Amino acid sequence: MATNELAVGEAVTRSELHKRFGGTPQGGISPSTKSRMVMLFVADSPVPDDLTGWGEDGIFHFTGVGRHGDQEMTRNNLALLRHVDDGRAVHVFHQLPKNPEGPRTYRHLGRFQVDPEQPYYTADGPDENGHARTVIVFRLRPIGATAVGGPRLPITPAMETRISTALPEPRIDPVRLRAQESPRALATRLTADYANHLRKLGRDVSAKQLQVKGEPGIALVDLFDATENRLIEVKHNATRQSIRLAIGQLLDYRRFFNPTPTLTLLVPSAPREDLLDLCASLCIEVAWPTPEGGYVSTHD
């Protein structure tokens, strides 16, 4: 049976699909030599970290297959990538909510083609056990009409790196250690208080959002002092683990700002001498609050 007999928006069970067009009965990518097709199956409700769905760019982003470890461009992933060379058409099917009175059905979203200019990108994503790994995300352009619906990406990967000003941070009381305060709450109050401190000195300070080209997520730069061209990363404690993490974040963020900014790490208390030496070796300023309401800086 020819693939043009598959109507856009048609609801069909997977067993019926494979009976009509061939392909494998399991997995998110099902190539078929019988009908020269590659069938893609999308879950009804993808997990929050899944990178499958419509983007604001009009592209359908589809996470490749491979349940454990880094995904590789082999087998069914490779079949999808090479579908044009192999003379296969790509069709996407979206899983409909389960009907207790009948078998699971899929709605045919339409025909697609892997984008010839940027076929795929890689991103961080969880495996089925929630462990971080690298996944392959295909970029599929629709060919002809598509059915309404299907999952949507919360954030569409940017074609170019973007830096934008985040929403203004809330006005919060000066930093004080509080019993049973969460790390996030302490970091939020520390950030707001330091921003107010800098503004009183006449500095232009704001938070920044950074979306790197090809990345599906947005990183939040805690504070950017535009007056001094300074990136500021805030941590809720001064442990070695937190300081190492902050160093990596600052060095990562710095690459995308022009001119190159200086770097500051803000913590709620003075780090150990060895950790101060570590930051000094990388020319990273460290600041922390004083009991009197001011701030100490290693660059003072």
For residue 79, give the CATH number of its domain.
Answer: 2.30.280.10
Domain termination residue (choose one: 116, 146, 176): 146
Domain assignment of residue 157, yes or no: no
pLDDT of residue 98: 83
Shared domain for 118 and 226, answered yes or no, is no
Is-contact 96 104, C-beta < 8 A?
A: yes
Shared domain for 75 and 46, answered yes or no, is yes
pLDDT of residue 176: 47
Q: What is the mean pLDDT of the chain?
A: 90
- Asked if pLDDT for residue 288 goes beyond 90, the answer is yes
Q: Which two tokens stand for residue 135?
A: 């996944």
Q: pLDDT class for 170, splitting at 50, 70, 90?
A: very low
Average of pLDDT values for 170-176? Answer: 45
Q: Which residue has the tokens 């780090």?
A: 271
pLDDT tens-digit profile of 234-279?
Answer: 999 999 999 999 999 999 999 999 999 999 999 999 999 999 999 9
Domain assignment of residue 156, yes or no: no
- Asked if pLDDT for residue 47 goes beyond 70, the answer is no
Q: Alpha-carbon distance 107 to 94, whole Å?
A: 5
How many structural domains comprise the chain? 2
Domain termination residue (choose one: 98, 114, 146): 146
Q: Alpha-carbon distance 286 to 279, whole Å?
A: 7
Contacts with 203 (C-beta within 8 Å, 6 or more apart), sequence order: 225, 226, 227, 228
Shared domain for 135 and 204, answered yes or no, is no
Q: Alpha-carbon distance 256 to 161, whole Å?
A: 8
Domain assignment of residue 254, yes or no: yes
Q: Which two tokens stand for residue 55?
A: 């983007």
Shared domain for 140 and 170, answered yes or no, is no
Q: The domain containing residue 234 runs over which residues? A: 162-297
Is-contact 106 23, C-beta < 8 A?
A: no
Contacts with 78 (C-beta within 8 Å, 6 or more apart), sequence order: none
The residues pairing with 209 across neighbouring beta strands, listed in sequence order, are 164, 220
Q: Quick one: CA torsion of 273, 278, 284, 287, rounded to 10 degrees?
A: -20
